[in-house]
Amino acid sequence: MELLCLDIINSNRFGEYLAKPGRDMLNNANWLHVLVDKWNLDVKFPIQSNDLKILQELRDNMQQAVKYLNLDTKLCAEELVKVNSILKNTPCQIKLVYKDGNFVLQDIPLCDSWANVIWSTAYSFAKLISEYDITRIKICENKDCGWIFYDESKSRTRRWCDHKICGNLMKVRRYRERQKQTEQ
Ligand SMILES: [Zn+2]
C-alpha cells in the first residue's frame, strides 16, 4: 500500500538500525522532486530549513509511534505530539465532492507549498492509524534495514520490505550461521 506518510517515514534509510552513517533523503532535492511529483503536490523549491526541520521532526514522531506499535506498547495520543500539533494548527476546509459515483468528504488544508506537504503527511499517518489495521504496520525484520510497510498479505505474515532483497539476505545469513555451527 502506498501512502505519503510511509514514503516520509522511510526517508531516512539508515537510522539507528545500521552502523553506517545516516542517509537522510529529505536532504536530497532530487528525491524530494520525485516525491512531490508522485503525490501531485505543488511546492516551491528549495525547501526552507524550517519546513525541513518540521518534516524531520514529524518523521521521527511517526517512526517512534510505529516502533511502539511493533513492541506492542500501547500507543497513546500523547506519543503523537508532532502529528497532532500539525493537524491542530493547520486550518482546513471540508468539502463534499462527488467521486466515482459516491459522495466523499475531502479535507483541504488552507496552506500551500511545503506546509501542505507537512499537513498531508501528518493527515495520511492519522488516517493510517485510525482507519486501517494497526497490527499490519510492520518493520522489516532485517535489523539492518528497518523499512516500514503495511502488510496487506492475507495471512498477515509478511516479514520483509521485499522478500527478494531482505528475505533472501536473511535466508543466506541463517544458512551461513547454520553452516558455521555444523563446522564447529
Ligand atoms: Zn528490508
Distance, in Å, from the CA atom of 13 to the CA atom of 132, rounded to the nearest integer, reads 24
Q: Which residue has the higher pLDDT, 103 or 69?
A: 103
Stated as kind and residue range, the H or E segment containing 4 is helix 4-9
Grid cell digits, residue 173: 545469513
Q: Please report the domains of the chain, with CATH numbers, ordered by start residue.
A: 4-183 (1.10.3300.10)
Looking at residue 22, what DSSP letter applies? P
Q: 167: CA distance to ligand 1 center in Å? A: 7
Q: 109: CA distance to ligand 1 center in Å? A: 34
- Convert the pLDDT of each residue in 16-32 to its tens digit: 444 455 688 999 999 99
Q: What is the pLDDT of residue 22?
A: 65
Average pLDDT value over all residues in the chain: 91
* Mean per-residue pLDDT, 71-79: 79
**Is the pLDDT assigned to residue 15 strictly greater than 50?**
no
Q: What is the pLDDT of residue 71?
A: 84
Stated as kind and residue range, the H or E segment containing 102 is strand 102-109
**128-136 contact pairs (CB < 8 A, 24+):** 128/3, 128/5, 128/6, 129/65, 129/75, 134/69, 134/75, 135/69
Per the confidence metrics, is the pTM higher than 0.85? yes
Q: What is the pLDDT of residue 19?
A: 44
Q: What is the pLDDT of residue 18?
A: 47
Q: What is the pLDDT of residue 23?
A: 81
Q: 100: CA distance to ligand 1 center in Å? A: 36
Q: 9: CA distance to ligand 1 center in Å? A: 14
Which range has the worst mean pLDDT, 19-23, 40-44, 80-84? Answer: 19-23
Confidence class for position 140, pLDDT limits 50, 70, 90: very high
**Is the pLDDT assigned to residue 99 strictly greater than 60?**
yes
Q: 164: CA distance to ligand 1 center in Å? A: 9
Q: 180: CA distance to ligand 1 center in Å? A: 24
Q: What is the pLDDT of residue 4?
A: 98
**Is the pLDDT assigned to residue 170 strictly greater than 60?**
yes
